[in-house]
Amino acid sequence: MARISDLLAAGPTYSVEFFPPKHEAGWLSLGRTISELEHLAPDFVSVTYGAGGSTRTRTADLVSWVRRQTSISPMAHLTCAGHTRDDIRAILTDYRAEGVENILALGGDLPADGETESDYRFSMELVDDVREFGGFSVGVAAHPELHPRSPDRGTDRQHLANKLAAADFAITQFFFDIEHYLVMIDELASLGVTKPVLPGIMPISNLGQITRMAHMSGAEVPGWVIEAMEKAGDNLDAAERIGVDLATELCARLIDEGAPGLHFYALNRSWATREIFRNLGLRPAL
């Protein structure tokens, strides 16, 4: 296994994000997906964490499975929402015992019922606690189009700069217009930030789904993307191919601009990510 900070120091990384399935069939399908993507030799995979820790056990199970059964380094998402400091210490203790070396420290969403106990207000506090616990490479989230709860641009960028002062790297929310990413990097540089910020890539297969997800995260689906996807009509295969083409073009431009890697939101499927790898010649894709 490897610490992501060390991987990034050695050169560009290519990584994939999964979420823990709710049902047995989903676990079987995800197992096939991970097997298919393992042939691409991703540098690491990340595993998401539900609102208020609602997938805490499933997240740990999936991280443990990746750690034990594959050659890929896993990164566990961890949120401060809905957790006490004792909860966090217990989770980190378990991950350390499992040999997990990477944590993505996030604010997270509250449970739907709003009932929660938490010792944290902001993800920065969680970053500090993970750092104090020791033994982990720590990442944080970045929003190229600003966090939806940020009061203004300056506050958003300063908050991200503060997090990156303590963390090793950041991974962005997905975006479609490269200018959002490039402007964010320039703004962080003006604040003295030199830590790597990995761009998050979401290949589109379902325009309605992506539009809803973008709205929740504060991102925008540009008109030119909508226009391109609408050309597929009701042809799902055509929509997926268009989505891959758009993502490939974005990835190529990011690589040309010197991005420190690419992080794919795969939605527990492998085809789109494999196609992008093949298009860009990133790995000996199958």
Cα distances (Å, whole numbers) of residue 225 to 216, 221, 248: 18, 7, 13
The one-letter amino acid code at 171 reads I
Per-residue pLDDT, 286 = 43
Per-residue pLDDT reduced to its tens digit, 64-119: 999 999 999 999 999 988 789 999 999 999 999 999 999 999 987 665 555 567 88
Query: Are the CB atoms for 171 and 46 separated by under 8 Å?
Result: yes
Nearest to 106 by CA among 90, 91, 124, 87: 124
CA distance 43 to 261: 10
Per-residue pLDDT, 121 = 81
Query: Could you state, in order of their start, the residue ranges of all structural domains in the chain?
Result: 4-279
Active site (annotated) includes residue 17: yes
Per-residue pLDDT reduced to its tens digit, 241-267: 999 999 999 999 999 999 999 999 999
Residue 17 has pLDDT above 70, yes or no: yes
Per-residue pLDDT, 285 = 43
Q: What is the pTM (predicted TM-score) of this model? A: 0.93
Per-residue pLDDT reduced to its tens digit, 164-181: 999 999 999 999 999 999
Residue 172 burial (10 A CB sphere; 0-12, 13-18, 19+): buried
- Helical packing angle, 207-217 and 223-230, nearest 10°: 160
The answer regarding whether domain 4-279 maps to CATH 3.20.20.220 reads: yes
φ, ψ of residue 170 to 5 degrees: the values are -130, 155
Per-residue pLDDT reduced to its tens digit, 188-217: 999 999 999 999 999 998 888 888 888 888
Residue 274 has pLDDT above 80, yes or no: yes
Per-residue pLDDT, 7 = 97
